[in-house]
Structure 1
Amino acid sequence: MDLQLENKIIVVSGGAKGIGEGIVRLLAQEKAIPVIIGRNAEDNQQLIDALAAENLIAHAVEAELTQPVECQRAIGEVISGFSRIDGLVNNAGENDGVGLENGSYEAFMQSLHKNLVHYYLLAHYALPALKLTKGSIVNIGSKTAETGQGGTSAYAAANGGRNALTREWAVELLPYHIRVNAVIVAEAYTPLYEKWIKSFDDPQAKLKTITDKIPFEKRMTTTEEIAGMVAFLLSEKSSHTTGQLIHVDGGYVHLDRAL
């Protein structure tokens, strides 16, 4: 399917690795112009170079998104460099394990800045450009807001916030014809996920206990599958879809895992 994203400027936070990388790769294949916003210039450039080897285009802005001034600067650089923004994918974040019993005020607030606050700030600063293009926003979220996980209060709270902001923005931005949706992820094998799995004494056994609970095909969702939904929601093929929390998770959240 031609999603008609050619030459569209799409900002992807945390776009150098994991789910973000999958999104950037697919957007580049659709001939959009993805712009990565990420803290690690080397990681950003590595993906740009890999795509260039396939005659695909991507760009990047280095920024530490936990710093509000960096969010403003990053969006400013995108607008200065490209004169437009056609879409924003809020994706950067980390399940950092800040719990209730073993957490602290400082760690909780740091996690919210790492996982939620920059979603608001990037959208806030990109909004004037998105109003001009009637662009779209896609927020990446996690099942933790709905299922709980244990030991990750801050990340769960951040994802509850992501879901709420998706619906709130969809309402607020109706007059500007800006659609806002979220893609909710359950189990996807990313570098961060791999690091966590390897922390167990028997990583493969632990992984099997997880995949056995995923109803559809007993396997993890791929980053390509998540990216496919994101690209669809950014495109005019989803022109009457807004305010939706779409689960790309093999049925993990809503189907009976006793199946």
Structure 2
Amino acid sequence: MDLQLRDKVILVSGGAKGIGEGICRTLAAEGGIPVIIGRSADDNQKAVAAIEDTGGQAYSILAELTQPEACRRSIREAAGLLGRIDGLINNAGVNDGVGLESGNYKAFMDSLHKNLVHYYLLAHYALPYLKTARGSILNDYGLEVHRFKNEWNSFVSVETD
């Protein structure tokens, strides 16, 4: 399969584990260069090593994405690594269980900050680089969209508007 990703620098938030790790492995297998942005140095390095062990190229940036300054810094650092950003895949988030019936305003706002605000911030800070590269942004909500089958999840109600 040729997804035309050879030598494309693609940032992947939450790229060290789960769906994000699978995305990074696929990008690398297609000749792309994933840059993993995540909060665990150990997890980030394990994911990079796994890609390098298969002959791919990858980098990692340590960042706690609930902190706005960390989002800005991670984009600047990523751009400095290889001189450009060709794509951004927003994938990081946590399943915090905040639902419409069981949640409250504070828990909902906390959930937005843990799961959604950094999508905006990373895209905002990456935009100048993406415009130059004519790149793209993919917002991945993972398995979260399936949770509403059991309970109308507050996060799902936000993302489907």
Does the alignment reach a TM-score above 0.5? yes
Counterparts of 1:76 and 1:158, CA distance in 2:
29
RMSD, aligned CA: 2.0
SS in 2 for 1:12: strand
The number of aligned residues is: 161
% identical aligned pairs: 57
Instruction: Report what 1:69 is aligned to.
Output: 69
Residues 135-214 of structure 1: pairs in structure 2 closer than 5 A: 135-141=135-141, 148-151=148-151, 153-160=153-160
SS in 2 for 1:148: helix
Counterparts of 2:158 and 2:14, CA distance in 1:
16
Instruction: Report what 1:21 is aligned to.
Output: 21
Instruction: Report what 2:132 is aligned to.
Output: 132
Q: Is the 8 A contact 2:12 2:88 kept in 1?
A: yes
CA deviation vs aligned residue, 1:17-70 (integer Å, no higher than 9, x gap)? 111001000000111100011111110000111121112111111111111111
Instruction: Report what 1:170 is aligned to.
Output: none
Instruction: Report what 2:98 is aligned to.
Output: 98
Q: Is the 8 A contact 2:51 2:57 kept in 1?
A: yes
Q: Is the 8 A contact 2:86 2:133 kept in 1?
A: yes
Instruction: Report what 1:41 is aligned to.
Output: 41
What is the CA distance between 1:145 and its match in structure 2? 5.5
CA deviation vs aligned residue, 1:177-221 (integer Å, no higher than 9, x gap)? xxxxxxxxxxxxxxxxxxxxxxxxxxxxxxxxxxxxxxxxxxxxx
Q: Which amino acid aligns with 2:72?
A: Q
Counterparts of 2:63 and 2:146, CA distance in 1:
30
CA 48–110 in structure 1, closer or farther in 2 if over 3 Å, else same: same
Counterparts of 1:41 and 1:143, CA distance in 2:
24
Counterparts of 1:99 and 1:4, CA distance in 2:
40
SS in 2 for 1:102: coil
Counterparts of 2:103 and 2:151, CA distance in 1:
9
2:51 matches 1:51: yes
Instruction: Report what 1:109 is aligned to.
Output: 109
2:103 matches 1:85: no
SS in 1 for 2:140: strand
Q: Which amino acid aligns with 2:69?
A: V
What is the CA distance between 1:125 and its match in structure 2? 0.3
SS in 1 for 2:64: coil
CA 66–154 in structure 1, closer or farther in 2 if over 3 Å, else same: farther
Q: Structure 1 residues 148-157 or 130-139, which shifts more?
A: 148-157
CA 95–155 in structure 1, closer or farther in 2 if over 3 Å, else same: farther
What is the CA distance between 1:157 and its match in structure 2? 3.3
CA 145–30 in structure 1, closer or farther in 2 if over 3 Å, else same: closer
SS in 2 for 1:81: helix
Q: Which sections of structure 1, spanning at least 5 residues, go unmatched? A: 165-259
TM-score by length of 2: 0.90
Instruction: Report what 1:123 is aligned to.
Output: 123
Counterparts of 1:80 and 1:143, CA distance in 2:
32
CA 41–141 in structure 1, closer or farther in 2 if over 3 Å, else same: same
Counterparts of 1:23 and 1:158, CA distance in 2:
24
